Structure 1
Amino acid sequence: MTSSPQFSQEFINELKTLFTWRRDVRHFQSTPVNEKLLDQLLSVACTAPSVGLSQPWRYIKVETPTLRQQIYNLFKNCNKEAAQNYTSDQYKLYSNLKLSGLNDAPHHIAVFSEENPTQGKGLGRQTMPETTAYSTVMSIFSFWLAARAYNIGVGWVSILPPHEVKSILTVPEHWNFVAYLCVGYPQFQNETPELEQKGWEKRNPSRHKWIIR
């Protein structure tokens, strides 16, 4: 039996710093990330927990310029539609938000979740089949934290309609779209989330308390 590692207080403090400084990055440098390092990040992502050890995540590097342009056009249309749902004051704030790094980020990564993978033999998802998607999100977060440790930024573009993204990238029907990630070295970093800096929203202290039943 392998003995479990003992983590020092210094490591625990650095881990807390890593969580604190994880940011949804929108401003990227054009310098690409080394391919071997991207492969390492994917390997870390694949160590994430998954229901029944199903590993339902599917990562696609979107490198074809025409496909990237189609995704960007889709984003622009969706962003324009979303802006119409806000009041005039909210619209002004919304218009000042940079909601994607699609034009700047050197890497685009689309993440899908296989709906009912044979791997795992259905364990743990008979009553909650959505746990495959939850597992994929865990993998994305693992990728995100590992990227931050290497000073690589990740931005999640969450406004894209899943069926249209699936059509553009021609993936199997049973793959469910979960995330479109912009990846690259950030232009700058800040401990305070950009949405809070711009006055869109701020953290709610009540979310730091347990709900007791």
Structure 2
Amino acid sequence: MTGGTSSPEFDAAFRERLEDLLRWRRDVREFRTDALPEGMLERLVDLASLAPSVGYSQPWRFVSVVHPARRSAVRSSFEEANRKALSGYEGERKKLYATLKLAGLDKAPVQLAVFTDHGSERGHGLGRQTMPEMLDYSTVTAIHTFWLAARAEGIGVGWLSILDPEEIRDELEVPVDWSLTAYLCVGYPAQEDDRPKLEQLGWEEEAPESRRLLKR
């Protein structure tokens, strides 16, 4: 319901399904090549735009990357950044890093660059005087909302951050006030699991402190 005073009721069954959605929202790296249904990407962006934002600024800007030359440039940026990242590890950690599949650029039917518009006047600076980074955090909430909405449709999302953000901004010819927050690969997963892939591969275990509630 919109524009009214009554709010929906979320029963126990809904809450259980919501927990399932959160647990199965995984970072996907291997995709099928099937195209998304017509209009699905636009629907997901619409739902993402229901996310909260500081000062109601809504600074997120979604850019669908479809041109082959631009996709090729993104891949080149990833490959160079990945080589540099590999050189920063040693020993067994370096060997393990080399085995990780860190990008879904080959098969994901949708590549989506998500920017934060730092030049927009929307929100008139409300909530950003002491924490200007809230603009970027607002975009992250939209990305997470997009991710959950996609997962509810059986669609996977992979967040690729091993890139040069300025190269991507320039290649996509967006305004200089836009900063890259995420580069997403979107499509149907080749396989699914409710455990994080990096945990499955032994890169990192769940951090117990992430679930700890501190009191001061």
- Alignment TM-score, normalising by the size of structure 2: 0.96
The reply to whether residue 139 of structure 1 matches residue 142 of structure 2 is yes
Q: How does 1:44-193 map to 2 (within 5 A)?
A: 44-193=47-196
**1:27 and 1:162 mapped to 2: Cα distance?**
23
The aligned counterpart of 1:202 is 205
**1:129 and 1:168 mapped to 2: Cα distance?**
26
Partner secondary structure for residue 181 of structure 1: strand
Partner secondary structure for residue 101 of structure 1: coil
Partner secondary structure for residue 39 of structure 2: helix
Runs of 4+ residues deviating >2 angstroms: none
What amino acid sits opposite 2:138 in the alignment?
A: S
Q: How does 1:9-24 map to 2 (within 5 A)?
A: 9-24=12-27
Q: Specify every segment of 5 or more residues in structure 1 that has no aligned partner in the other structure, as ranges.
A: none
Contact 1:152/1:184 (<8 A) preserved = yes
The aligned counterpart of 1:6 is 9
**2:143 and 2:38 mapped to 1: Cα distance?**
18
What amino acid sits opposite 2:177 in the alignment?
A: H
Shift of 1:109: 0.2
Using the TM superposition, name which of 115-124 and 59-68 deviates more. 115-124
Shift of 1:206: 2.2
Contact 1:26/1:101 (<8 A) preserved = yes
Partner secondary structure for residue 72 of structure 2: helix
Contact 1:52/1:122 (<8 A) preserved = yes
**1:42 and 1:92 mapped to 2: Cα distance?**
38
**2:171 and 2:27 mapped to 1: Cα distance?**
24
Contact 1:116/1:122 (<8 A) preserved = no
Shift of 1:35: 3.1
- Over the residues paired in the alignment, what is the CA RMSD in angstroms? 0.9
**2:168 and 2:209 mapped to 1: Cα distance?**
36
Q: Give the share of equivalent positions with the same residue, in percent.
A: 48
Deviation per CA, 1:92-113: give whole Å up to 9, x if none: 1101110000111010000000
Deviation per CA, 1:96-145: give whole Å up to 9, x if none: 11000011101000000011421111111111111110000000000000
Partner secondary structure for residue 35 of structure 1: coil
**1:184 and 1:33 mapped to 2: Cα distance?**
7
- Alignment TM-score, normalising by the size of structure 1: 0.98
